[in-house]
Amino acid sequence: MSIGFDEVGERVYLLRHPVLDVNVTLVVGDDRALLVDTLSTATQAAELAVAVRALTGHPWILVNTHHHFDHCFGNATLVGEVTGPVYAHTAAAARLRDQPELVRQQAYDEMRDREPALAEELTRTTILAPTHTVHLESTLDLGGRTVVLRHLGRGHTDGDLVVQVPDADLLVAGDLVESSGPPSFDDSYPLEWPETVAELLRLTTPNTVTVPGHGPVFDTDQVRAQHEQLATLAWLIRDGHADGAPAERVAARAPFGPEVTLPAIRLGYAELGGDT
């Protein structure tokens, strides 16, 4: 499969992989490059390495925005291409280090019916945990260019990492925001997610380009619109829990649709009930 990057900012490039429409961002400095997310399998990562090398011969640093397979299972292949650090939030790194087979099983279960060939390949893919962790913030020097890795709070997972490229006015948000489909709530923190995206918005200007985890880039107004939907969902969860309303009834009124939001409502109810 031939894949390639498109420029979305000054020396910042986006690759939208056709499988799951997942995004990979390449930031090129004078001495090094930063590759944000590494796709799902060794095969995909090998193709990604070829696409990167078409743009730069610099050694690269890897960042995983979170621990889900489609954003980090390519780590081992890409580190094998050029030995270098792999950054992630502390919680994401811990999962990939301490529970790799659980993460793999969850990925397989998610893809078994939707993408059976991909699910099968996931069972054979080496999982490499990040080597460097970020608690709240870390700054990386790519040579004449600085990027900032930020944990703004819990949302899509407990270990979401945002990459800020200040000189390009660009943010890589991972799955904190989505444009090719609704957000995924399976292991999310729906009551905290709106405030985390509010923190993301505080980093934006009217001209900021935000790269979501999947799909086309967002402008600031689109990020703000998704924040409003997440805030509405959190309010509905709190209100429904206070009223003793069944989760299914709340889901029928929620943004993103009932099938998507039912896991979020159950998670929110459990948290409000002291079950987490």
* The predicted structure's pLDDT at residue 80: 79
Smallest CA-to-CA distance from 268 within 185, 196, 197 is with 185
All domains of the chain, ordered by start, with CATH?
Answer: 6-272 (3.60.15.10)
pLDDT digits (tens, 9 = 90+) for 233-248: 999 999 999 999 999 9
Query: Around 229, how many Cα atoms within 13 Å sit in the side-chain half-sphere?
Result: 19
* The predicted structure's pLDDT at residue 2: 74
* The predicted structure's pLDDT at residue 84: 79
* The predicted structure's pLDDT at residue 9: 97
Low-confidence ranges of the chain (pLDDT < 50): none
Q: What is the pTM of this model?
A: 0.96
> Counting Cβ atoms within 10 Å, is residue 71 exposed (0-12), middle (13-18) or buried (19+)?
buried
* Dist. CA 38–CA 49, nearest whole Å: 9
* The predicted structure's pLDDT at residue 276: 57
* The predicted structure's pLDDT at residue 83: 66
